[in-house]
Amino acid sequence: MGRFRPIAHSAFLRHFVPNLNLHWISFFSGTPLLIPSTEIVSEDCKIYGIPLKNHLVFMLSSFKAIILPQPQIKPVQLVIAKDIFVSAIRIAMSIDGSCLPFGDVLRTSAQEQVDYMLSKDKDTLIVMADDEVKSVVRTGVYNTINSFEKDLASLLLVPSLELGTADNNDRIMRKLSDLEWMCNVLPKMDLMKNLVSDWAAISNQILRIVEDKKLDQVMWGLKIKLIEVTCKVLEAVGYGGVILPAACRVQLLKSWFPYIRKMKPLLDSKGTEENGFPYKMDQDLCQAIEGAIVSLVLTLPSNDQADILADWIRSREIGYPDLSEAFEVWCYRTKSAKRRLVEGLDGNSDAVISA
């Protein structure tokens, strides 16, 4: 029957079985022998909980079981779940600043707690509908992107990127890692649009900074992490997870497509020149970006598709990303539209002649 869910405490059991004295809780694997729920268990025994439709099956060490109704979610439970989730979000997104002296350790633990609650805790799914919870999450997303943009802009103000900026560089990388984590959890909250919209709004500013001459041969980790986060954003828009206006989709693609196309051969070249160069676009990342860009191109108005595909053809020797699939679909759609137009014009001409 597999692994059974452990019961967190004995209060619920004692509510239904007052005589039960629970000493400890564990897992159990085996085939349960179900007994009537009217049977009273009065001896000390080991208890194991298994979810079964609307009931919990409690396994006893004597290989018997008692079936009890699944408890209904009470308002007080939702309040507790909400408080825990909001607290975890505030720490995970550093909304109240760094939690000294624990700092990164506490933030990482809070992110893991949020991951767990979103995937395992049913109460959290209900809590996510709360406007206050959504507001806290939106605040965290905005603050993270805003502080990332400011820290990134400060790179151009220092005389040397290799001396005296370690703290700032680390802070920038932490913010990017936080944004990458948000890209994984926000879709579960139906709030990915906030991050995508904010990222699209600052994309040109980000690229203006990272393409500055001062960063030409430094901070490769920053550049590859930017591409990884952008991949998540492109996937969200390209595959329909986030719906943006056509103008915003065009701007997002026209901003990042040339940069990604430029960085791929540059990173490959660095990897060839330097043994052990860690900052590469691996096959999974390359395929993810290519698939997202192809899907995104096909969502654009036909004229914008033509502009992007024409630019791709002019630099086709680069080889990445390969937009052949998008080009073939665009050609087919264009021919079909032209054929329908001609047929429509012919039909109108025949109607005029017959009249």
Each residue's pLDDT tens digit, 35-80? 333 333 334 333 334 343 343 444 444 434 444 444 454 566 788 8
Confidence of residue 190 (pLDDT cuts 50, 70, 90): very high
Mean pLDDT across the stretch 218-224?
93
Domain containing residue 63: 11-69
Would 337 be classed as within a structural domain?
no
- Give the 3-state secondary structure percentages of the chain, helix then strand then coil, rounded to 5: 65, 10, 30
> For a pLDDT cut of 70, what percent of the chain falls above it?
71
| Distance of alpha carbon 221 from the chain centroid | 20
Is residue 45 in some structural domain?
Answer: yes
Is pLDDT above 70 for 14? Answer: no
Residues 6+ apart with CB under 8 A from 149: 202, 205, 206
**Is residue 51, in this structure, part of any structural domain at all?**
yes
Q: Is pLDDT at 183 greater than 90 in this prediction?
A: yes
Cis peptide before 6 (omega within 30 of 0): no
Q: Decide if pLDDT at 155 tops 70.
A: yes
Name 93's Cβ contacts closer than 8 Å, sequence gap at least 6: 137, 140, 141, 143, 144, 178, 182
Percent of the chain residues past pLDDT 90, beyond the cut: 49
Quick check: is 91 in a domain?
Answer: no
Task: Pick 35 or 185 by higher pLDDT.
Answer: 185
Residue 17 inside a domain? The answer is yes
Confidence of residue 166 (pLDDT cuts 50, 70, 90): confident
- Is 237 part of a structural domain of the chain? no
Overall average pLDDT of the 285-302 stretch = 95
* Segment among 12-16, 104-108, 300-304, 328-332 with least mean pLDDT: 12-16
Whether the upstream peptide bond of residue 321 has omega within 30° of 0, thus cis, is yes
* pLDDT above 70: residue 266: yes
Q: Is the pLDDT of residue 333 over 50?
A: yes
Indicate if the pLDDT at residue 351 is higher than 60: no
Tally of domains in the chain? 1
**Residue 285: which pLDDT band, with cuts at 50, 70 and 90?**
very high
More confident residue, 147 or 348: 147
Phi, psi of 19 (to 5 degrees): -80, -5
In the prediction, which pLDDT does 112 show? 92
**Across the chain, what does the average pLDDT equal?**
78
| 62-66, 113-117, 319-323, 335-339: least confidently modelled range | 62-66
In a domain, residue 149? The reply is: no
- Give the pLDDT score at 144: 96
| pLDDT for 212 beyond 80 | yes
Q: What is the pLDDT of residue 105?
A: 86
Q: Is residue 84 part of a domain?
A: no
